[in-house]
Amino acid sequence: MKKQTPILTDSFGREHTYLRISLIERCNLRCTYCMPEEGVQLSPRSHLMTYEEIYTIAKLFVDHGVTKIRLTGGEPLIRKDIPIILEKLASLPVELTMTTNAVIIDQFVEVFKQYGISSLNVSLDSLDPAKFKEVTRRDEFERVYRNILLLVKEGFIVKINAVLMKGFNENEIVDFIELTKDLPVSVRFIEFMPFDGNKWDMKKMVSYAEVMQEVENAFPAESIVRLQDAPNDTSKNYKIQSYQGSFAVISSVTNPFCDSCNRLRLTANGRLKNCLFSSSESDLLSKLRKGEPIEPIIQKAVAAKFAVRGGMDTLEKLKRPDLHSQNRSMIRIGG
């Protein structure tokens, strides 16, 4: 039986069973909401976790109750030792999954099968090749879309993450939902969130209410089915009756799910973030390399977690740049 200790329980009684590990700060796309136009200052390679250190830290979290690990980046698949990382983590009694942009995912289908990865989240913000190129600053739409179809064909559970931005892709909400008519995928609409360098503005955000208004305008009310959300789910899930797939809204800004949050994040340079919105971090890697115990640091970081959005408990606070501009850009946190 898995050892349970209070090290991953915060002051609000939330138990953290889900660890997101960023493997790399680099990416083969340049998404505008994720990476500042001028790029980011990358950590020196020597400051990044090795595969042995990733495994050591992950195992410690699993020993203390983590049951799910998601690998993120940057783009995790461009890390050269990704097969070794998957092999090591697959040996742990944990659900292992990944978020990817799918540009090179066709090279890893058999590797995923070998190490028991059955579910993948794929970032795709537009179904229009020209707009895809605009938001990613790369011309890779056809490749990504082809790889999504490949994953479906190979039997993977596929979730498509689309960050909605007003004046850019909010007119594609219905198109994305129509994608679920014949494909057994889940499209997840994500509210645009503030991070360093992404020029966040509340006016650019498409809210949960606005998404559902678009849905209700396009489909008969009786065909819109509210699905049962999983425990600790970040998304509000729906489907259109008779469609193979489903859709959901992740409303981190307008309807945060903080009261049931069970997530922690480990950055590629070994720092623990207790909340996506938090600007504070706890250095695990330096202590690990010195041979010092990291459990006390983890426990202190988890205990310090705010009730809501890194302490930004109102939309007015969220609008203040001084409260979120000290956070990392998304590419250096991990998607």
pLDDT tens for 24-33 read: 998 888 777 7
Q: What is the CATH number of the domain that holds 43?
A: 3.20.20.70
Confidence (pLDDT) at 277:
79
Higher pLDDT, 13 or 35: 13
SS3 325: coil
Say whether pLDDT at 329 is over 60: no
- Name the domain count of the chain: 1
Q: Is residue 185 part of a domain?
A: yes
Question: Residue 313: pLDDT above 50?
Answer: yes
pLDDT at 40 over 70: no
User: Which residue range forms the structural domain that includes residue 263?
Assistant: 6-333
More confident residue, 176 or 135: 176
The confidence score (pLDDT) of residue 107 equals 97
More confident residue, 193 or 327: 193
Mean pLDDT of 160-185: 96
Between 225 and 202, the more confident residue is: 225
The span from the CA of 161 to the CA of 130, in Å, is: 18
Residue 267 lies in a domain: yes
Q: Of the spans 198-212, 280-294, 298-312, which averages the highest pLDDT? A: 280-294
In a domain, 109, yes or no: yes
pLDDT at 186 over 90: yes
Which tens digits make up the pLDDT trace of 51-82? 999 999 999 999 999 999 999 988 999 999 99
110-125, pLDDT tens digit by residue? 999 999 999 999 999 9
Tell me if 327 is assigned to some domain: yes
User: Amino acid identity of 197?
Assistant: G
Tokens of 332: 């250096």
For 313-334, what is the mean pLDDT? 57
Answer yes or no: is 89 within a domain. yes
Tokens of 57: 């830290």
CA-to-CA separations, 216 to 33, 164, 174, 181, 225, in angstroms, rounded: 27, 17, 10, 16, 11
Mean of the per-residue pLDDT values of the chain: 89
Contact assessment for residue 238 and residue 253, using Cβ atoms and an 8 Å cutoff:
no
The C-alpha angle with vertex 321 and arms to 20 and 279, in degrees rounded to 5, equals 30
Percentage above 70 pLDDT, the chain:
85
User: How deeply is 131 buried, as exposed, middle or buried, from its count of CB atoms within 10 A (0-12, 13-18, 19+)?
Assistant: middle
Domain assignment present for residue 191? The answer is yes
Confirm whether 1 is domain-assigned. Answer: no
Q: Does residue 279 form part of some domain?
A: yes
> For residues 100 and 109, is the Cβ–Cβ distance under 8 A?
no
Structure tokens at 112: 């995923």
pTM of the model: 0.89
What span, in angstroms and rounded, lies between the C-alpha atoms of 148 and 332? 25
* pLDDT for res 332: 54
Name the CA dihedral angle for 140, 333, 235, 325, rounded to a multiple of 10 degrees: -100
